[in-house]
Amino acid sequence: RKEVEQDPGPFNVPEGATVAFNCTYSNSASQSFFWYRQDCRKEPKLLMSVYSSGNEDGRFTAQLNRASQYISLLIRDSKLSDSATYLCVPPGFSGGYNKLIFGAGTRLAVHP
């Protein structure tokens, strides 16, 4: 099983729709999780940090299920500006160092 797997999409949704992305991980020692947003030909930018069972920030909600090793990102009332690729990121461990492992991302396209 890959360390992190994401639903690749693309998700094509109309403005105002609610959309959810899923992410499963295999490293059971993970303590914190992140969702990053990456616009086309740009660097990833931190969208949300999750340290417990979930986090909500405006239209965005991230939820965690530790037993199933699964996290999700819910976007309500989608805007055209939400169009981007969303990267799921749990921490990983290698040789005693912590390092983030990035999923390949889920592409979202919001249309008028």
Closest contact distance (angstroms) between CB of 3 and another protein is 11
Closest contact distance (angstroms) between CB of 85 and another protein is 9
Cα separations in angstroms, 42 against 51, 61, 84, 102 = 26, 23, 10, 16
Question: Which part of the chain contacts another protein (CB under 8 A), choosing from 36-44, 52-60, 63-71, 75-83?
Answer: 36-44
Place of tokens 């909500």: 56
Q: Largest Cα–Cα distance of the chain, in whole Å? A: 48
52 part of the interface to another protein, by CB under 8 A:
no
Question: Which part of the chain contacts another protein (CB under 8 A), choosing from 43-51, 54-62, 63-71, 75-83?
Answer: 43-51
Rounded CA-CA distance 30/100 in Å is 10
9 part of the interface to another protein, by CB under 8 A:
no
How many residues at the interface with another protein, by CB under 8 A? 25
Which residues between 83 and 112 bind another protein (CB under 8 A)?
87, 89, 91, 94-95, 97-105
Concatenating the DSSP letter of every residue in 45-75 gives EEEEEESSSEEEETTEEEEEETTTTEEEEEE
How many C-alpha atoms does 107 have within 13 Å on its Cβ side?
6
Which residues lie near another protein (CB under 8 A)? 31-32, 34, 41-46, 49, 51, 87, 89, 91, 94-95, 97-105
